[in-house]
């Protein structure tokens, strides 16, 4: 199939980017060497629906080295880096994506990706899997299974499974320990601030940061805000997470109370309308609004438009909204994931582990052909193997249980 991309001439810039991250992804490098010999995906078509930046580009090349015919498609219209996509096409991968695709183009690209007739899928957020189930069910018979990258995608998969609609086995990569403990927490923690700081060029120290959602991502965003010298407020709906935030040293209050206090607001709940009309009515003048959750529905853009007189672009990725009383707020990256739409996503060393899990889980699907149409955990062996390889790449050794200790831990009689 013919690729649908912005400009093939950008390829050399994309190759530079991929080459840089590759030199910081030692675990994936090892898997690349393994796959180049064992060819686990020989004769298989793989569709990868992820944020199309350099680390994803390298993952696509590793799957290709494993013998697959690979197509990539964007999981978000603003996170696509056109130079990376061009480099992939240059290396024989089919691509359907360009930066800033309209909603219509985004869905056309997903349609094209499904028509590539995948045998294996990597999805991020569930749009590809939802599309193939709803519009192209006849193609599901070719699909061995797939892997899902993020919390929101797994919620959608579990809903498909509960309703008895899921027709393929799916592996919940997000739920592996060596994924969410590092990617969601430290990856999001660092890359969200990278995205906000490179876009606004404003100081964080001494400011009030409101983080809405204290899950794995929210903890990382709050921790890094504290490290930058901010006063951090957490808004939660889960009483246990709220106590956790309190014990971690943060103030906890409802969003309505936090709205007049914050200088930066970061939503990271996976939920919708967490910043809405009632909050906007009292929100602090000059507040910066950013989202790090999967979809651009956490900050209600319809409410923002209703509550304000007008809005204008003041800088790339910054939209200024003016209220009738003269207050202003600034929305970053159209309310899409700020670390990917206004940044390069998580650091390479973090995505090394996440994408190693993706690659090994995809291989697992090819080796286990009696899986049911369910959502599966990443196996403990794969999860631990990724952690072991990461430690080894850092030259770090850890202790082992002695036989005596193993026996002690296994025995109820002391």
Stated length of the chain: 414
> Residue 7 and residue 14: Cα distance in Å, rounded?
11
Contact between 364 and ligand NAD (CB under 6 A)? Answer: no
262 or 343: CB nearest ligand ADE: 343
- x/- string (CB under 6 A) for ligand ADE, residues 22-41? --------------------
Q: Which of 26, 270, 293, 345 binds ligand ADE (CB under 6 A)?
A: 345
| CA torsion through residues 186, 195, 345, 25, sign | negative
Shortest CB 79 distance to ligand ADE, Å: 8
> How many Å from the N-terminal Cα to the C-terminal Cα in the chain?
66
Contact between 190 and ligand NAD (CB under 6 A)? Answer: no
Query: Residue 361: which of ligand NAD, ligand ADE, none does it interact with, CB under 5 to 8 A by kind?
Result: none
- x/- string (CB under 6 A) for ligand NAD, residues 155-184? -------------------------x---x
Query: Residue 351: which of ligand ADE, ligand NAD, none does it interact with, CB under 5 to 8 A by kind?
Result: ligand ADE
Q: Which of 83, 149, 194, 349 binds ligand ADE (CB under 6 A)?
A: 149
Contact between 292 and ligand NAD (CB under 6 A)? Answer: yes
Residue corresponding to tokens 């899928």: 121
Query: Residue 271: which of ligand NAD, ligand ADE, none does it interact with, CB under 5 to 8 A by kind?
Result: ligand NAD
Closest CB to ligand ADE: residue number:
345
5 or 192: CB nearest ligand NAD: 192
127 or 236: CB nearest ligand NAD: 236
Contact between 237 and ligand NAD (CB under 6 A)? Answer: yes
* Residue 28 neighbours by CB under 8 Å, 6+ apart: 22, 58, 59, 62, 352, 355, 356, 359
Q: Chain-centre distance of CA 99, in angstroms? A: 17
Contact between 83 and ligand ADE (CB under 6 A)? Answer: no
Task: Tell me the CB-side half-sphere exposure of residue 173, using CA atoms within 13 A.
Answer: 29
Shortest CB 208 distance to ligand ADE, Å: 26
> Residue 315 and residue 404: Cα distance in Å, rounded?
64
Phi-psi region of 70 (alpha: psi -120 to 50; beta: other; left: phi over 0): beta
Sheet with 328-332: strands ordered across: 251-252, 231-235, 208-212, 264-267, 287-291, 328-332, 318-322, 310-315
Query: Residue 53: which of ligand NAD, ligand ADE, none does it interact with, CB under 5 to 8 A by kind?
Result: ligand ADE
Q: Which of 5, 50, 113, 268 binds ligand ADE (CB under 6 A)?
A: 50
Query: Residue 55: which of ligand NAD, ligand ADE, none does it interact with, CB under 5 to 8 A by kind?
Result: ligand ADE
- Strand pairing report for 310-315 and 318-322: antiparallel
For the CA atoms of 354, 227, 339, 116, the dihedral, rounded to the nearest 10 degrees, stands at 10
Nearest to 347 by CA among 222, 174, 149, 190: 190
Q: Which residues bind ligand ADE (CB under 6 A)?
A: 50-51, 53, 55-56, 124, 149-150, 187, 340, 345-346, 351
Q: Which residues bind ligand NAD (CB under 6 A)?
A: 150-152, 180, 184, 188, 212-218, 235-238, 241, 268-271, 274, 292-294, 337, 339
């Amino acid at each position: 199939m013919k690729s649908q991309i912005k400009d093939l001439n950008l390829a050399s810039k994309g190759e530079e980017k991929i080459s840089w991250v590759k030199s910081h992804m030692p675990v994936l490098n090892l898997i690349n060497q393994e796959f180049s010999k064992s060819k686990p995906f020989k004769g298989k078509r793989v569709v990868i629906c992820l944020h199309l930046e350099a680390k994803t580009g390298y993952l696509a090349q590793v799957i290709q080295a494993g013998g697959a015919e690979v197509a990539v498609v964007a999981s978000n219209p603003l996170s696509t880096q056109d130079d990376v996509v061009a480099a992939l096409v240059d290396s024989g991968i089919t691509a359907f994506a360009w930066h800033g695709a309209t909603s219509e183009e985004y869905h056309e690209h997903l349609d094209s990706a499904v028509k590539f007739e995948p045998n294996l899928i990597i999805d991020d957020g569930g749009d590809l899997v939802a599309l193939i189930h709803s519009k192209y069910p006849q193609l599901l018979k070719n699909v061995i299974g797939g892997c899902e990258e993020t919390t929101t995608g797994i919620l959608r998969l579990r809903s498909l499974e509960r309703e008895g609609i899921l027709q393929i086995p799916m592996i919940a990569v997000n739920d592996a320990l060596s994924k969410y403990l590092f990617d969601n927490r430290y990856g999001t923690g660092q890359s969200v601030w990278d995205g906000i700081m490179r876009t606004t060029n404003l100081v964080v120290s001494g400011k009030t940061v409101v983080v809405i959602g204290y899950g794995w991502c929210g903890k990382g965003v709050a921790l890094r805000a504290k490290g930058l010298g901010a006063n951090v407020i957490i808004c939660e709906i889960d009483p246990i997470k709220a106590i956790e935030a309190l014990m971690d040293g943060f103030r906890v209050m409802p969003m309505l109370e936090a709205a007049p206090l914050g200088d930066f607001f970061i939503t990271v709940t996976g939920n919708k309308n967490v910043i809405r009309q009632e909050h906007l009515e009292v929100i602090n003048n000059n507040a910066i609004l950013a989202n790090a959750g999967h979809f651009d529905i956490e900050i209600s853009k319809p409410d923002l438009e209703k509550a304000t007189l007008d809005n204008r672009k003041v800088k790339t990725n910054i939209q200024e909204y003016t209220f009738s009383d003269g207050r202003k707020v600034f929305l970053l990256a159209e309310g899409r994931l700020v670390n990917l739409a206004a940044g390069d996503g998580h650091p390479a060393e973090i995505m090394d582990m996440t994408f190693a899990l993706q690659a090994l889980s995809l291989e697992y699907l090819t080796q286990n052909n009696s899986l049911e149409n369910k959502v599966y955990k990443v196996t403990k062996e794969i999860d631990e193997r990724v952690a072991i390889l990461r430690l080894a790449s850092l030259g770090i050794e850890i202790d082992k249980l002695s036989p005596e200790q193993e026996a002690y831990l296994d025995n109820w009689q002391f």
